């Protein structure tokens, strides 16, 4: 019986070993020069044939072309190991089905790719190097920034291949993306699992992505935890971009990039609406974001909807913008059920918060499926210093931004809060220290509730609040400091039913200023 047990234990041990391959022991070479593309593919195929397992990189720099993962495969990268991707564009052929900036197409294989797989992971304390410089140079060449004729000739071949692989790909004539589509050269994301279930990235450091860094598309159950992304100021080197994904957690990560740090998307224009796959059930927490165009961004590709998003306990230090929700006419889609809480911002070059339907210059049109909708967005517990603009909320005539709450906010900014073409807006417990007034400029808005808002830097020539064409506003619990010209100015032919109650204006000589355009019939109740 003991012999039988020993045999069984030996078989179990051999089985366990079979599910763990060390790439160096398998024939890989970590000298930083030798290509490991074929070796890695064979190792993954062998693990897959046995039901999955772990492919380990333990020491050295392993150069490779694209890595195509299969179900139940884990890449384990030790602290002393680097996976460095080749900059030979031909290695990323044949083209595969992927998504580029919200458009499904066939293009270069992403550097780490999986199609309709389950339970895949990239873990460890090592480094993944996208080696993106040549890809960035390719974009600049296609755009005409460089006159490298030999390189341009090489790129022409890839552009012709793209034409061949995408014979029926068209987008709407009114789309603002037609110029981009005309380039026909699309850099691959560093990671793009596509239509996968169960995708994890944990612990690793990622540098030099050629394009978006981690970009799951049409995936479910995504965990990105404890990673570092450090990309240079290169074109479109976004950090983490889930698109049309469900059940996503992004946590405990440090991100500095050349574009947006974290972005949620769901497809572009007509094609995005046809796929109709939202990005939903998203949690972003305990992350630090440094350089980047935006800290956490929703859009602008959100034609398939973005909803049920929680952003909390994050630090934005030096990004161009903090929270940015953006779209434009022609996208369609709904962004809703968004909650942001416990955020610290510093050195924000533009807006700490911006919710904006003017991302591109598309002419006004009638309300239709092409009209984007922003609603049910709630932001609380935000502290900011050295900020250019505290907040902008800018809707469009055919689609006012609605049901927005800003509460418990303290920001030191050059300019304050601007709201235009909105409805059902609540401002509560907000203090903005501004250099330029008025601190709160609100126009073409209805159903406005204000409670305990103020400025830390009263401006003698400006009111604290400026209302233009505002209907149905209730303002209470405010205590403006001495030094303000007045508390509120009201003007505009559409302004009506402005009620001020339970405020203390004893430090002001004038509480309410009335403009020349205000109708005599307008109800202004102090």
- How confident is the model at residue 169, as a pLDDT? 87
- How confident is the model at residue 13, as a pLDDT? 44
* DSSP per position, 48-89: HHTT-EEEEE-SEEEEES-EE--TTEEEEE-TTEEEEE---G
Catalytic residue chosen out of the listed positions 87, 293, 305, 420:
293
Where are the alpha helices (H) located in 246-348, listed in sequence order? Answer: 269-275
- How confident is the model at residue 11, as a pLDDT? 39
Nearest alpha carbon to residue 174 among 322, 363, 398: 363
What is the CB neighbour count within 10 angstroms for residue 24? 18
What is the CB neighbour count within 10 angstroms for residue 25? 9
- Strand 103-107, strand 96-100: pairing: antiparallel
If DSSP codes are grouped into helix, strand and coil, which group holds residue 164? Answer: helix
Is 259 a known active-site residue? yes
Q: How far apart are CA 156 and CA 466, in angstroms?
A: 55
Where the chain has pLDDT below 50, the residues are 1-18
Q: Where are the domains of the chain?
A: 462-526
Is 146 a known active-site residue? no
Catalytic residue chosen out of the listed positions 238, 259, 260, 412:
259
Model-level pTM?
Answer: 0.94
Q: Are 322 and 348 in contact (CB under 8 A)?
A: yes
The pair of three-digit structure tokens given for residue 123, joined into one six-digit string: 């873990």
If DSSP codes are grouped into helix, strand and coil, which group holds residue 163? Answer: helix
Q: Are 481 and 454 in contact (CB under 8 A)?
A: yes
Q: How far apart are CA 316 and CA 296, in angstroms?
A: 9
**Mind listing the pLDDT tens digit for each residue in 314-357?**
999 999 999 999 999 999 999 999 999 999 999 999 999 999 99
Compute CA 392 distance to the chain's CA centroid, rounded to the nearest angstrom. 18
Residue 91 gets which letter from DSSP? Answer: G
Q: Are 30 and 56 in contact (CB under 8 A)?
A: no
**Mind listing the pLDDT tens digit for each residue in 229-263?**
999 999 999 999 999 999 999 999 999 999 999 99
- How confident is the model at residue 12, as a pLDDT? 42
* DSSP per position, 338-384: EEEEEEEEEEEEEEEEEEES-SS-PPP--SSTTS-EEEEEEEEEEEE
Q: ω into residue 94 within 30 of 0, thus cis?
A: yes
Count helices and strands in the chain by DSSP H and E runs: 6, 34
Q: Are 81 and 126 in contact (CB under 8 A)?
A: yes
Compute CA 137 distance to the chain's CA centroid, rounded to the nearest angstrom. 24
**Mind listing the pLDDT tens digit for each residue in 381-404?**
999 999 999 999 999 999 999 999
């Amino acid at each position: 019986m003991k012999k039988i047990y020993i045999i069984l234990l030996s078989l179990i041990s051999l089985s366990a070993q079979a599910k763990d391959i060390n790439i160096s022991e398998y024939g890989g070479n970590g000298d930083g020069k030798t290509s490991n593309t074929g070796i890695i593919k064979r190792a993954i195929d062998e693990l897959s044939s046995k039901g999955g397992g772990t492919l380990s990189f333990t020491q050295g720099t392993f150069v490779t072309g694209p890595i195509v993962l299969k179900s139940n495969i884990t890449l384990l990268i030790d602290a002393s190991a680097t996976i460095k991707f080749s900059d030979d564009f031909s290695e990323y052929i044949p083209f595969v089905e992927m998504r580029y900036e919200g458009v499904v197409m066939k293009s270069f294989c992403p550097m780490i790719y999986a199609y309709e797989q389950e339970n895949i992971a990239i873990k460890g304390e090592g480094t993944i190097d996208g080696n993106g410089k040549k890809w960035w140079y390719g974009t600049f060449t296609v755009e005409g920034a460089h006159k490298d004729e030999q390189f341009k000739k090489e790129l022409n071949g890839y552009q012709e291949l793209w034409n061949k692989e995408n014979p029926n790909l068209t987008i709407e004539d009114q789309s603002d993306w037609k110029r981009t589509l005309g380039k026909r050269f699309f850099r691959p994301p560093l990671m793009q699992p596509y239509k996968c279930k169960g995708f994890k990235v944990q612990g690793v450091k990622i540098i030099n992505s050629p394009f978006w860094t981690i970009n799951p598309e049409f995936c479910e159950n995504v965990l990105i935890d404890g990673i570092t992304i450090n990309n240079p100021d290169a074109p479109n080197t976004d950090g983490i971009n889930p698109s049309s994904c469900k059940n996503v957690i992004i946590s405990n990560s440090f991100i500095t990039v050349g574009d947006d740090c974290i972005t949620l998307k769901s497809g572009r224009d007509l094609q995005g609406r046809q796929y109709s796959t939202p990005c939903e059930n998203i949690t972003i927490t305990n992350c630090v974001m440094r350089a980047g165009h935006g800290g956490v961004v929703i859009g602008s590709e959100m034609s398939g909807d973005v909803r049920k998003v929680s952003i909390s306990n994050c630090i934005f230090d030096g990004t161009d913008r903090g929270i940015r929700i953006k779209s434009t006419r022609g996208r369609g889609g709904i962004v809703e059920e968004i909650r942001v809480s416990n955020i610290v911002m510093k050195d924000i070059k533009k807006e700490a918060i911006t919710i904006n339907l003017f991302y591109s210059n598309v002419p006004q049109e009638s309300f239709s499926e092409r009209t984007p909708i922003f609603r049910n967005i709630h932001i609380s517990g935000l502290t900011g210093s050295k900020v250019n603009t505290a907040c902008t909320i800018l809707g469009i005539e055919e689609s006012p931004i609605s049901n927005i709450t800003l509460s418990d906010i303290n920001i030191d900014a050059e300019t304050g809060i601007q709201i235009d073409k909105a409805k059902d807006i609540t401002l509560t417990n907000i203090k903005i220290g501004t250099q330029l007034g008025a601190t709160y400029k609100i126009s073409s808005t209805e159903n406005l509730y204000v409670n305990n808002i103020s400025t830390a830097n009263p401006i003698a020539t400006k009111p604290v609040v400026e209302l233009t064409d505002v209907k149905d506003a209730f303002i209470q619990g405010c205590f403006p400091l001495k030094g303000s010209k007045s508390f509120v100015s009201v003007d505009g032919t559409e302004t009506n039913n402005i009620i001020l109650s339970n405020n203390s204006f004893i430090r002001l000589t004038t509480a309410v200023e009335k403009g020349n355009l205000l109708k005599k019939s307008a109800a202004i109740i102090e």
